[in-house]
Amino acid sequence: MASVLVAAEDAAIGPAARSDGRVPRQTMKHALHTPWFFCAAHRQRNGTLSDRRALPAFAYVEDYWAQMARLVRPSRMQFGSTLYLFRSGLEPRWEEFPTGGSWALSCDSTSADLDECWDGLVLAVIGEQLHMEHTDAARRGGEQQQWREQSTAPMPEEILGCELSVRQSHAKLAVWTRTARDEAAQRAIAQRLSEALALTRHDGLRDCVLTYVPHDAKRRAARGRRSGDAAALQAEPEALYVHEPSHNSSSTAAEVPDVSKDACERGVEVT
């Protein structure tokens, strides 16, 4: 766990103040839609995760880059490491989102593609590129009106955060979502995710398949493993949805969402 976050502990959070305590105007930053935070855990010998250790939340593009530049690269993380990026105020625990689940794909834990895909995933998540109007349309139709009638708070975002798990045999990238049974929203997210990660343009990822598993299925599988059930020890939780990235040769780079640093800045509000 320390090998994931120790390099980021000195990341600058917030603009540098002058001697009089005032922040210079030239350090005004670009606000994200919501604050986010990184946290890490380590898989212990008994299969459980250690207590999660979090970095300070960040709410600006510039603070994201300050932390990201100091995090250990995925291809260099110790086996057993898990790194999360979640919206501030949320906890990356299955129990917190009983109706949710996650899209996931596996790849070589030492591949250079892993570093590039993690960068693309994180930027797509904090840049709000995975849901927007494409995935929220179905859920926010009638449900939006019902939500407004019941609460004065904004409707919760469908995208909760993302996860990187590094194991000896493979690495897993995952995106956590709030509503597993909303098939239209989940399939739209999968399409945007495969485009953001440019899966069909990485030789090591061309045959990767995205699978969606609800958290309740993961909990049942975990209970079976803890009970010593022989079948559960070998079986993986059953996927609710599967998405195979398109290999259409007519697909061009222009069709893939821009997940660069500039794209994040263009999509946020200047404060």
With contact defined as beta carbons under 8 Å apart, do 129 and 257 qualify?
Answer: yes
Q: Report d(CA 69, CA 128) in Å as an integer.
A: 21
Q: Look at the chain and count its residues.
A: 271
Locate the domains of the chain by residue range.
Answer: 2-13+28-270
Find where tokens 């766990």 sit: 1
Task: Give pTM, 2 decimals.
Answer: 0.75
* Whole-angstrom distance, CA of residue 171 vs CA of residue 82: 10
How far apart are alpha carbons 266 and 271 in whole angstroms? Answer: 13
Phi, psi dihedral angles at 170 (to 5 degrees): -165, 175
SS3 content of the chain, % helix, strand, coil (to 5): 40, 20, 40
User: What DSSP element (H or E) covers 54?
Assistant: strand 53-54
Check whether domain 2-13+28-270 has CATH 3.10.20.30, yes or no: no
Structure-token pair, residue 225? 């493993």
Contact by Cβ (8 Å): 101, 215:
yes
Taking Cα atoms as reference points, which of 28, 66, 35 lies closest to residue 270? 28
Q: Please give the chain's pLDDT, 271 residues, in tens.
A: 445 664 444 444 444 445 555 555 556 889 999 999 999 998 776 556 677 889 999 999 999 999 999 899 999 999 999 999 999 999 999 999 999 999 999 888 877 788 988 999 999 999 999 875 544 444 455 555 554 445 444 456 899 999 999 988 889 999 999 999 999 999 999 999 988 887 656 665 656 789 999 999 998 887 876 666 655 555 678 899 999 877 653 333 333 334 455 544 444 433 3
Cα first-last separation, the chain: 35
